[in-house]
Structure 1
Amino acid sequence: MQIDNNQLLRFTTAGSVDDGKSTLIGRLLYDSKSIFEDQLEAVENTSKKKGHEGVDLALFTDGLRDEREQGITIDVAYRYFTTPKRKFIIADTPGHIQYTRNMVTGASTANAAIILVDARHGVIEQTKRHAFIASLLQIPHIIVCINKMDLVDFQEDVYNAVIKQFEAFSSKLLVKDVHFIPISALLGDNVVNRSENMSWYQGAPLLHTLETMHISSDVNKVDARFPVQTVLRPQSEGFIDYRGYAGRIASGVFRKGDAITVMPSGFTSNIKSIDTLDGPLDEAFAPMSVSITLEDDIDISRGDMLVRSNNQPEPSQDIEVMLCWLNNSPAKPRAKYTVRHTSNEQKAMIKEIVYKIDINTLERDHEDSNLEMNAIAKVRIRTTKPLMIDAYRENRTTGSLILVDDATNETVAAGMIV
């Protein structure tokens, strides 16, 4: 298969505490020679201060002072590296249960998810939680790395037992593509180089798997959606009568002359021009940022959406959402929030908690009506004005939203429209 050297793969790492996520990423960076000399020197010095004989690979990602002092990952750490075959962005997410919300953040734009499992402990609650979130966010590829194989004498039976455990659970999830790799992040087995200690494993090492993985675009190319961010009315010479609607195309393709409908007003017109800083275009597609002018003078403002007239989203005020609660404080019954959806902001209220998900069993609890931090639930939201929505499975951009607490301006929840 032909690999595009400029193609970017975003992947997230997840697993329980001390499963070795940071060590794995450190090993990837170290063995692929993607570390600057000053970074290596700083980590070597810190490793010596801690009394380590060699380089503590985990320090390459645990960048915050608190993380280095405690030896744990707290925040989502983003790292960039490149190999001759591909460019990568890694989101290293915390393993603690109280930081599950950080995994939602780190995984929201990922093409692949690496889920680490400690070979000694097998599939545990956090493994299931992370696999469920990866499924919920519709991450197309999951790589299950059974780590610390050196601590179980590189036994194939242990590796096979973990695969059976994971497959028994994941059969209930919408997971399309799963890879299993036995590794030792500490020693480097099957990370960048093939392991001599596990000759029974015939698959590729982790880096080769990442380099050759097919990346399908998650941008919806069919449904043309253009959320208006601002109206451009320049007064300079040559632009006296210019009225452009600027924003970023969320999905689909727009062409000069297309018949469009303005949502939610329903007014119709045709595209007169598509303009960029580099000049006019005959067509533009997601995720380009452009300014669109219309043949007719229509009252359009921020939060409106331009769509093709023959393909319109569903304006809705009552929205069903799979919601991940991110805030330390639980949701207040019938409390008012601001919902942010593309460039649109509306007041909203959580009308009803339909059910909560038990991460261990994937069972639906219809009785529990408490939304505390890290809870995942299906809820009904009522907005003051209609939002132009698509289902998340069809359009990640117009199918997602966040809730903001008006009093603190904190993002309290992230949701995927069902």
Structure 2
Amino acid sequence: MSTTTTEELSATTLLRFATAGSVDDGKSTLVGRLLHDSKSVLADQLEAVEHASRSRGQDTPDLALLTDGLRAEREQGITIDVAYRYFATPRRRFILADTPGHVQYTRNMVTGASTAELTVILVDARNGVVEQTRRHAAIAALLRVPHAVLAVNKMDLVEYRESVFAAIAEEFTAYATDLGVPEVTAIPISALAGDNVVEASANMDWYGGPTVLEHLETVPVSHDLSHCHARLPVQYVIRPQTADHPDYRGYAGQIAAGSFRVGESVTVLPSGRTSKISGIDVLGRPVAVAWTAQSVTVLLEDDIDISRGDLIVPAKDAPATTQDIEATVCHVADQPLTVGHRVLLKHGTRTVKAIVKDIPSRLTLDDLSLHPHPGQLVANDIGRVKIRTAERLPVDSYADSRRTGSFILIDPADGTTLTAGMVGESFASPEPVRDETEDDGWDF
């Protein structure tokens, strides 16, 4: 167990990262090795893994069992759900998302990587870069994850040859660069043997770079959103109606980005009404300023109509509202997304009706070419869509804000999540145009 003290933890930064790769590339083993060798595993957890390994006829502990906790995962030997693990070293705290490698569960990688600052993509040294590797790189680029680590695993099975590692690193780096991934760090490892995971390998003296843990501890963390466009999606309107606070009306939510101050002029979207912040409560106590990720209650000087789904923004920094959204999406549902598909679009705390007006292109992962007007997107496809919403929405570009520049499409029939979207280009339209030939509530 790590001996990191509370004082040490308070002085360290936080890194959120995700692992990805094809089936049997060794993601769960890498995570288990990382936890084990960094002494972040409790004694009873290790004992349970050793017992489970012996019951399966294995002589040594299967460290993959530290993350593959579901019975179905253990029976099939694959990761199905996203497994989150929290650990720390004296230099940094970590939130790790171990995502599935099977193509059927690629959708879960979108969930795991959506808040990550770094993605570790594993490649089996015997197989090199495969289609699922390219898909995971494309998703990481789409989600604008700023750092990528290429972990070439199972180097022990290719006799630790430098030429094998160099060829894979060159191919992947070129592909990731074409996708727009800003930084790739390639590391040769053997998760099973522990080479270059936490401790430097004695079998690869030709490699002079950092181990996986060394890189995770030192990579610059840039998830501070306090200087971004300030955004507060309203989640709940608080009116206690007590004798002490008969006129209290607060607007509660989690600040998505930026900061807000008492006395600041703000605009409420999509209505466009303006007011000034008269007070900010955090955990029931008044504060002068609040910032990203804090859950707050904002009070305004004016009594204006605000409800769940509205967005509070600085008056001088209000995004345009639009009914027409163009975005890059990753389709995650088994049922296809087609032109004319009637959906619900959830943006922040607001959910509105919408129609898929066009699917201009689908990304071909092999050569990054665009297949024009495919007509539909199937599970795990990445493509561009044009969507028309029933109400005007205040959306940011995903490049400016990963929180208010993203959305999901939902099946209105059963609530299934269909698509994860990142706003690439939105264009405002005039007043809503209705088609009077139909009256099913979906024409706008």
Per the normalisation by structure 2, the TM-score is 0.91
Letter in 2 for 1:158: V
Once residues 277 and 133 of structure 1 are traced to their aligned partners in structure 2, the CA distance between those partners, rounded to angstroms, is 37
Aligned residue-pair number? 417
Does residue 110 of structure 1 match 2:103?
no
Partner of 2:336: 330
Give 1:118's aligned amino acid.
D
What is the match of residue 243 of structure 1? 249
Amino acid at match of 1:409: G
CA-CA distance at 1:276 after TM superposition: 2.2
Partner in structure 1 of residue 400 of structure 2 = 394
1:194 equivalent to 2:193? Answer: no
Amino acid at match of 1:335: H
Q: Which residue of 2 aligns with 1:339?
A: 345
Question: Does residue 227 of the first structure (1) align with residue 233 of the second (2)?
Answer: yes
Match of 1:313 among 299, 319, 323: 319
The 8 Å contact of residues 123 and 129 in structure 2, kept in 1 or not, is answered as: yes
Give yes or no for contact 1:119–1:146 (8 Å, CA) kept in 2: yes
Distance in 1 (CA, whole Å) between partners of 2:130 and 2:420 is 25
Instruction: Verify the 8 A CA contact 1:219 1:396 in the aligned structure 2.
Output: no
Is the Cα contact below 8 Å between 1:405 and 1:412 reproduced in 2? yes
Residue identity in the other structure for 1:162 = I
Per-residue CA deviation, residues 147-197 of structure 1 (Å, 9 max, x unaligned), is 111111111111111111112212211111211111111100100100001
User: Quick check: 2:228–2:401 contact (8 Å CA) kept in 1?
Assistant: no
2:99 counterpart residue number = 93
Residue in 2 that maps onto 1:351: 357
Q: How does 1:19-418 map to 2 (within 5 A)?
A: 19-217=25-223, 219=225, 221-418=227-424
Q: Aligned to 1:293, what secondary structure does the other structure show?
A: strand
Structure-1 residue corresponding to 2:4: none
Cα distance, 1:5 vs structure 2: 4.2
Secondary structure in 2 aligned to 1:58? helix
Q: Please tell me whether the aligned partners of residues 220 and 395 of structure 1 are also in contact (alpha carbons under 8 angstroms).
A: no
Give the letter for the 1:148 counterpart. K
Once the two structures are TM-superposed, the CA of residue 4 in structure 1 deviates from its matched residue by: 7.2
Give 3-state SS (helix, strand or coil) of 2:179's partner.
coil
Q: Which moves more between the two structures, 297-306 or 129-138?
A: 297-306
- Partner SS state of residue 195, structure 1: coil
2-side partners of 1:6 and 1:332: how far apart? 47
CA drift of 1:127 comes to 1.1
Alignment-mate amino acid for residue 72 of structure 1 = I
Structure 1 residue corresponding to 2:13, chosen from 3, 7, 29: 7
Give, in angstroms, the shift of residue 201 of structure 1: 0.6
What's the CA shift string for 1:193-223, capped at 9, x where partnerless?
A: 0000111111111111111111012526231
Closer, same or farther in 2 for the Cα pair 1:106/1:222, shift >3 Å? closer
What amino acid sits opposite 2:17 in the alignment?
Answer: F
Q: Retained in 2: the 8 A contact 1:220–1:394?
A: no
Query: SS of the counterpart of 1:273?
Result: strand
TM-superposed deviation, 1:278: 4.2
Structure 1 distance, partners of 2:313, 2:77, is 50
Note closer, same or farther for the CA distance 1:177–1:332 as it changes in structure 2 (3 Å cut): closer
Deviation at 1:6, TM superposition (A): 3.2
Between 183-192 and 81-90, the greater mean CA deviation after superposition: 81-90
Deviations 1:266-297 (A, max 9, x none): 22211111122241111111121111111111
1:328-369: per-residue Cα shift (whole Å, max 9, x none)? 111244122111111111111111101011112111111311
Equivalents in 2 of 1:147, 1:268: separation in Å?
56
Stretches of structure 1 that go unaligned for 5 or more consecutive residues are none
Tell me the distance in 2 between the aligned counterparts of 1:356 and 1:387: 25
Query: 8 Å contact 2:12–2:90 — kept in the other structure?
Result: no
Question: 1:217-250 CA distances to partner (integer Å, 9 max, x unpaired)?
Answer: 2526231212111211111122101111111111
Q: Give the distance between the partners of 1:235 and 1:252, measured in 2 at CA.
A: 31
* 2:124 alignment partner AA: D
Q: Aligned with 1:27: secondary structure? A: helix
SS in 1 for 2:198: coil
Which deviates more from structure 2 when the two are superposed, residues 20-29 or residues 45-54? 45-54
Matched to 1:35, the amino acid is V
Distance in 2 of aligned mates of 1:226 and 1:211? 31
Q: State the AA in 2 paired with 1:82.
A: A
Identity %: 53
User: Quick one: distance in 1 between partners of 2:356 and 2:224?
Assistant: 29
